[in-house]
Every structure is written in structure tokens, then in C-alpha cells.
Structure 1
Amino acid sequence: MRASSPALTHGRAVWLMALAALMWSIAGVVTRQLEQARSFEITFWRSFFMLLSLLVMLPLLRGRTAFAPLLRAGPALWLSGLCWGVMFTAFMVAITLMPVANVLVTMAAAPLLTALVARLCIGHRIATRTWAAIAAAGVGIVWMYGSQVSQLSPVGLAVALCIPVAGAVNWTVVQQAQGQGQAVDLVPAVFIGALLSCLATLPWALPFAASARDIALLALLGLFQLAIPCVLVVYCGRVLKAPEIALLGLLEVIFGILLAWLGAGERPAPAVLMGGTLVIAALVFNELLGWKEQGT
């Protein structure tokens, strides 16, 4: 943000991060209100409107040099952008194939999967508490899906799993680049992700079938569910530590399940609630202990 922006206090950053999680969480309930748009067309329009939003917002927030990082982008930035593109696409396709709650809980396992990928690829040490959290989250995921195997789409499950896998690869790439002194700017990476998502889904989205109401709802998602929260997280990251951001980000799962339940009548199955509770408890346990170990 520009130097003229008001000072961001810790308390204000917490509230802004919670607001970002609430904005992220509207995807499921809004998607359930669509009339004619389906699958890849939904993904295309959401990514397209996010792209338009960032084209307007970034110059306002960062000045004329907003897109300069794209001109000197290295492999890490483009690989991060590719991962974001996979996550944007997989998330929207998954919630057209599966209940919102299942997708959100599966996505929530990304931080623990990141620890495993970082261990395998760049040798990061995994603390005992994180191994315990990974095991508990694994039990929660199996619990959630085990009782629903015959009712869920195998394709939907595979697509949903692409979200935490891409997220794990993304953050591992970012960590490795930072370790080599090459910081990856999140906002340009997200911009690249939105662009790649648009290009990849456009052929599958044709011919367009979305109604004017659908377009308006998807424009809302592009701006309020992706673009603005992305900028808020980058802004809050200047004050909040990584464990705080991870914990507050979990509010998306809670908000998303409640909104889909109350706004679209999509009541989560008992196994989803139990398995999801175990996954979230494992994440909270791991992050709180990590926070304590850092002396915060």
C-alpha cells in the first residue's frame, strides 16, 4: 500500500484478515444461486472478472510500476502463478461436482500437505507436533470421505485434491525461492494464475450459456471473493505472522459451510462435520504450538 495509507495495527489486521476469510467463503453459496452457467464457464468468468479487478486495483494501490514484476518474472513467479491457476480452476470445478463442505475441508489440509512436500523437495524439518497434526488430519479426511465413497463423484474428489496439492507445491516454491534470496510477490503471481485460468478454461466454457444474472454473480465473485481478499492478505501480512494468517484463514471453512447450509440448504453430512472438525482441530493445534515455540 502507499505510504499515505493509515498505519495498520495488529487488531485492525486481525479484523481485515477475518473479513478476507468471510469474502473467500461466499463462493459456494453464490455458485448455488447460478441459473445457467456450469462448470468451466463458471471458472472462466470468475477468473476473468478477477483479472479485470486486479488490472484496475493494482495501479491504484501500487502506482505505475504495479505490473513491473511481470516483466522481470523468474521461473519461481511463473510456477507460483501456474499453481494459483490450478487452484482457481480446481476449486470452482470441484464445488460444481461435490458438496461445498467437502471441498472446503479438503482444501484446508493444504498447510499440512505443504509441510510434507517441503520435507520431500527441499528438506525442511517437520516438527513432531506437525507429524501428529498430519496424521490427525489424514484420519479426518478418511473419516469424511469413507462413509460417502458411494455417493461422491470420483472425478470431483480428484479435482478437489488438486487444490491442496497445488497449494503445497506453490508454497514450497515460494519458500525455496525466498531461501535463495528471490522473493516471490504474491499479487503478480495471483494475477498470472487468474490469466492462466482464463486461458485454460475458455475453450471448455464455449459456447457461453450464462444469464445476465449469472454474469453479475460471477463478477461479484471475481471482485469480492478473489481480488479484494488477495490484496487484504498481502496488506495484513505486513503485521500478522504466518501462524496467525493460517489460523484466521481457517475461518473460510467455517463461514463457507455455514453460508452454504443457510443460504443454499446444503446441510453437511455428519461424517463431514466430524472429519472436518478433526482436520481443523489438527491445524489449530499445530499452528498454536508453532506460535508458542516462536515466543509470540
Structure 2
Amino acid sequence: MKLTHSKAVFLMILVTMMWSIAGVVTRHLESARSFEVTFWRSFFTVVSLLVILPLWQGRAVFTKIRNGGSALWISGFCWSVMFTAFMVALTLTTVANVLVTMAVSPFITALLARAFIGHRIPGRTWLAIAMAGAGIAWMYGGQMDLSSHLGGTLVALMVPLASASNWTVVQHSRAHGKNIDLVPAVLVGAVISTLATLPLSFPFSATAHDIGLLALLGLVQLAIPCVLSVMCAGVLKAPEVALLALLEVIFGILLAWFGAGEVPGASVLTGGALVIGALVVNELVGWRQRA
């Protein structure tokens, strides 16, 4: 399918809407908790991708996995950490806390790229990192019962760390002439997440209702938007993708608010606005400079 720029923007917005349903859907689970939630979502992601990828890329997708080398498997491991940490974090703290914590991913990516690839970090990005740090501090400092959110925050922080590591590995490999296809790496990540969380999920407590919702997440919240986002990334510039991806934070908080009654606190809204504002300004200034 050939995408124009306008269609890619619209499709990326749709992708963020699909990503954002995880929080509100999780709040409607009846008895599934923690690692079992992750297991079922990852399992249904594997099933969905085993259908979608051969239809999209043919049997060559399995050849790419076999011949992908260490970089593809490291990328797959990073995806598995993201899959697992995200869902576990949602069971430990609020949707808003998880999403705002994940929004710092571009800043962590910039730091890792500087450390391991030698990418220069502009002054505007250092300023944005400081502003985002202040926003995170304000968000959690304003909550009286910090201990009830700290564990979930630390788990959620593993998502941007894994995402930044993934990006760094991919960029390093491409700089050395290896072109990693991220879609097969997502399948590898879903398989690893499924196998890793299976023994931690016993005894199973999910009802048929829960399994239906988690199957929905595996297909609609991960498998389909993953494929669509890769298509969009081939048309949109990196700053555009980064800015559009922030819509997941907004959509996710609103869906949890109106769909599950999870009202974000004032400190979360203020700190979150500072984090997102820092990222938006950083990306827009960088975009204008490159243009």
C-alpha cells in the first residue's frame, strides 16, 4: 500500500489511538493480574503476528528471523521487556503515571545514543531533559502516598529504557551496514515475553471475559498498530513520528478518565504537561533547524 504524507499522518494518529486503549481495557479485567495479564496479551500478539506477517511479507519473514543475527535478537529482547514492563506497570500504578513516565523515551534515547554511538546532544535537548526531569519530580512529589506509585513508576521506566536500547542497537547495526527489519523483531519479542511470563502466571485466574479483552489487546493494541507504524515510519520523518506518538499519552489518559473513572491528579496533569511540552518544543525546534 502506497502512503502519501497526509495518509501516513492520519494512519499514525489511528495507531496512537489503538496503542492508547491498553490502560482502559486493563481496568475492566475481572480477575487476571500482573504477569498473567502480560502473558495473555503477548500470547495473542504472537498468534496475530503469525497470521499478519506472512500475509504482509510472505514466508521471507521467518528467513529474516533466522538470518537476523545478534542485533535482531537483542532488539527482540528489548521488545519483550517493553511488552512485559508496560502491562505489569499498569497493574501497579495509574494509567497517567505509566504513560507520562514512558514519554521520556526520546530523552533517554538521546543519552544512550550519545554514550554508545557518539551522537551529539544539542543544547536544546539538554534543556528539554532538565525540564522533563522537573516534570517527573513534580508529578510524583505532589502525590502524598508516593510509595503506592513508586514501584509502578520504576517498572514503567523500564519501557523507555528498553525502547532507547532498542533504537541504539538498530542505529548501530545500520551504521555498520546491517538493515534490521523491526517487524520480525517484534514477533521475537512477543514470543520471549510469552515464554518468560508463562511460569509466573500460574495459577491462571483469568475469566473468559478477561481472555477476550486481552486477545483484543494482543491484536488491536499491539499486532495491527505495530505493522501500521512501520509503514508510517517509511513515509514520515522521525520528529513527526515522535510528536504524533505523544498522542498516545493524551488519548490514554482521557480513555482511562472517561472509560474507567481514573481521574488523574493535579500534580500528574501539571508534571505531565511539562514533560510533553519539553518534548514538543525540542522536536519542533530540531525539525525547523533540519528544514
> Normalised by the size of structure 1, how large is the TM-score?
0.96
- Secondary structure at the aligned position of 1:204 is classed as coil
Q: Look up the match of 2:153.
A: 157
Give, in whole Å, the separation in 2 of the partners of 1:291 and 1:160.
28
Q: Look up the match of 1:241.
A: 237
Q: Percent identity?
A: 65
Q: 1:149 Cα shift?
A: 6.1
Give, in whole Å, the separation in 2 of the partners of 1:149 and 1:48.
37
Q: 1:155 Cα shift?
A: 2.3
**2:268 is the counterpart of 1:276:** no
Q: Look up the match of 2:117.
A: 122
Q: Look up the match of 1:214.
A: 210
Alignment deviations for residues 202-246 of structure 1 (CA, whole Å, 9 cap, x no partner): 001112111111010000000000000100011111111111111
Give, in whole Å, the separation in 2 of the partners of 1:131 and 1:120.
14
- Secondary structure at the aligned position of 2:198 is classed as helix
**2:198 is the counterpart of 1:202:** yes
The answer to whether the 8 Å contact 2:101/2:153 transfers is: no
Q: Look up the match of 1:256.
A: 252
Alignment deviations for residues 155-179 of structure 1 (CA, whole Å, 9 cap, x no partner): 2222111111111111111111111
**2:170 is the counterpart of 1:174:** yes
- Secondary structure at the aligned position of 1:203 is classed as coil
Give, in whole Å, the separation in 2 of the partners of 1:39 and 1:232.
28
**What residue identity is the alignment partner of 1:85?**
S
2:92 to 88, 97, 103: 97
**What residue identity is the alignment partner of 1:17?**
M
Q: 1:289 Cα shift?
A: 1.2
2:46 to 34, 46, 51: 51
Give the unaligned 5+ runs of structure 2. Answer: none
Aligned-residue CA RMSD (Å):
1.0
> Normalised by the size of structure 2, how large is the TM-score?
0.98
**What residue identity is the alignment partner of 1:279?**
V
Alignment deviations for residues 22-73 of structure 1 (CA, whole Å, 9 cap, x no partner): 0000000000000011110000000000000000000111112122111112
Q: Look up the match of 1:289.
A: 285
Q: Look up the match of 1:265.
A: 261
Equivalent pairs, count: 290
**2:41 is the counterpart of 1:41:** no
Bigger Cα displacement from structure 2, 75-84 vs 90-99:
75-84
**2:20 is the counterpart of 1:25:** yes
**What residue identity is the alignment partner of 1:139?**
A
2:220 to 204, 217, 224: 224
1:186 to 182, 187, 196: 182
- Secondary structure at the aligned position of 1:97 is classed as coil
Give the unaligned 5+ runs of structure 1. Answer: none
**What residue identity is the alignment partner of 1:269?**
G
- Structure 1 runs of 4+ with >3 Å offset: none
Give, in whole Å, the separation in 1 of the partners of 2:237 and 2:158.
27
Give, in whole Å, the separation in 2 of the partners of 1:206 and 1:133.
43
**2:138 is the counterpart of 1:113:** no
The answer to whether the 8 Å contact 2:33/2:91 transfers is: yes
1:83 to 50, 74, 78: 78
Bigger Cα displacement from structure 2, 116-125 vs 37-46:
116-125
